[in-house]
Amino acid sequence: MPINNTKSDIPLYIKVNKEDNVATIVNSGGLKPGTVFQCGLELHEYIPGGHKVALIDLQQGQEIIRYGEVIGFANTHIKKGRWVKEPLVDVPNPPEIEKLPIATRDQSSIQPLEGYTFEGYRNADGTAGIKNILGITTSVQCVVGVLDYAVNKIKKELLPKFPNVHDVVAINHSYGCGVAINAPEANIPIRTLQSMSTHPNFGGEVMVVGLGCEKLSPERLIEGDNKDDSILSLQGQQGFINMVDAIMDMAEERLEKLNNRERETCSVSDLVVGLQCGGSDAFSGVTANPAVGYAADLLVRAGATVLFSEVTEVRDAVHLLTPRAVNEDIGHALIEEMKWYDNYLNSGKSDRNANPSPGNKKGGLVNVVEKSLGSIAKSGSSPISGVLSPGEKATKKGLIFAATPASDFVCGTLQLASGMHLQVFTTGRGTPYSLPIAPVIKVSTRNELKEQWDDLIDVNAGQIATGEATIEEVGWEVFHFILDVASGRKQTWADHWGINNDLSLFNPAPIT
């Protein structure tokens, strides 16, 4: 990733791959016409920071190459030194699903990374948590108002008595009734709630609040024989005050048990780390995402489970992923998830290019192809050892593709269902997004975002663009930050402020 200089007071650009015929302007305020780079390239118009400059004369119909891959075709003649922007770029077709190389990469050179641990909470089922939380699952949206009232009282009146318990979280959602509960795709939201109820940060203390007449029976959310002890039905209570008191009594029993938990040294192989990006820009694929990808490789080498997701931000780069599958079965499973999502988008008369947001484009991304190539950098270079359908729990170690939509809130919810302990979230435009159950480590793509949001960004990868740090250095910083947060030694800014977003179920099934 050559950078043509390292001083911020002179013009800078990034050319990612030697085959690229465009480069990204680094200077945050953009560069004016007449600007000349050390290599002799002269700009013939103003180009904003994060946007692309043509390094050669691009003829109409010519391939535009970034990351060594085709991100589009010039629909008009673009002169060298001109701004390569969205209206001038036609979107290429996605990779043909039936012609992808599968499990072709040599995977024999991966070296284990030993000697790293974290301080977590051991669960009875052998898993470990990094937080000590009482989670209360709802079976239907109807009970949310009562439960939220009760949770506020629990936090004020009960939680101070149990100092070893970090929080009480209601798993609220808009599902449970008025839905086609037996539709083929209804298994996705139901499976998500089933998995969420036994999240490792909940310490095995399951509690479900239901109404009593909903289509999604509370019993479906609990495994094992002690279902009656873990379910409270509001229709069985005598008035509002009794509802609240019953929830508080049930919660107090579980808080007493959770309060006895203590941290102990755990192997990194007990960790499940989710990766996600939001508010992406043209720097995402050259600073934050590659650095997180480097950290992901370290985690995999240390034995952890690492989840990467966002189907629409994988689809156009899937040809770079299927060769990394550990075997043909995993490769075909990855392809099947791409097919499912293609059909899902087609049924809504949409396509994958609906993905880039206005902010993504303002940040220099011209289309979903460019966005995808930058997005998959988060996955590093490790072999792909498993594929999960939406809401499935992870049962394997290594790098896992957990199929989810790209929506921050939906992706985060589904990764939680897969057992994610914490999430590493890269952003270029900035977002205060966070989750109530798992810490979210924010990694900025630009120095300017860290300066603007110093009390929201945890790690700054923008230094990579200006040559002040390497991908490897920031990758190690992210790796150590993950272990510190998992151990309770450090706190993310979002957890410091106590901010989080609502959980959001993915429900592709009909609503009746």
> What is the mean pLDDT for each group of 10 consecutive residues in the chain (512 residues)?
52 95 95 95 96 98 97 98 96 91 83 96 96 97 97 98 97 94 94 96 96 95 78 96 98 97 97 96 96 98 97 94 96 96 88 82 93 96 97 96 95 98 97 96 97 97 95 98 98 96 93 88
CA of residue 94 relative to chain centroid, distance: 22
What kind of architecture, by CATH, is found in domain 120-258?
A: 3-Layer(aba) Sandwich (3.40)
Helix extents (H) in 72-175: 144-153
pLDDT for residue 381: 96
For the chain, the structural domain boundaries read: 120-258, 272-497
3-state secondary structure of 64: strand
Residue 367: CA atoms inside 13 Å, Cβ hemisphere, count? 26
The pLDDT assigned to 6 comes to 41
pLDDT at 346: 87
Query: 3 - beta bridge partners?
Result: 14
Among residues 310, 444, 294, 316, the alpha carbon closest in space to that of 373 is found at 316
pTM greater than 0.85: yes
Cα separations in angstroms, 171 against 221, 418, 483: 12, 15, 26
What integer pLDDT is reported at residue 226 of this predicted model?
A: 65
CB atoms within 10 A of CB 226: 10
How far are the Cα atoms of 228, 231, 253, 437, 463 from residue 222, in angstroms, in the given order? Answer: 10, 9, 18, 19, 47
Residue 414's Cβ-count burial label (10 Å; 0-12, 13-18, 19+) is buried
The reported pLDDT for the residue numbered 503 is: 94
What's the CA gap between 49 and 43, in Å, rounded?
13
In one-letter notation, the amino acid at residue 191 is: R
Buried b (16+ CB within 10 A) or exposed e, 27-42: bbeebeeebebeeebe
Looking at residue 106, its pLDDT comes to 79
pLDDT, residue 329, reads: 96
Could you please report the per-residue DSSP string of 280-319?
Answer: --TTTTTTHHHHHHHHHHHHHHTT-EEEE--GGGTGGGGG
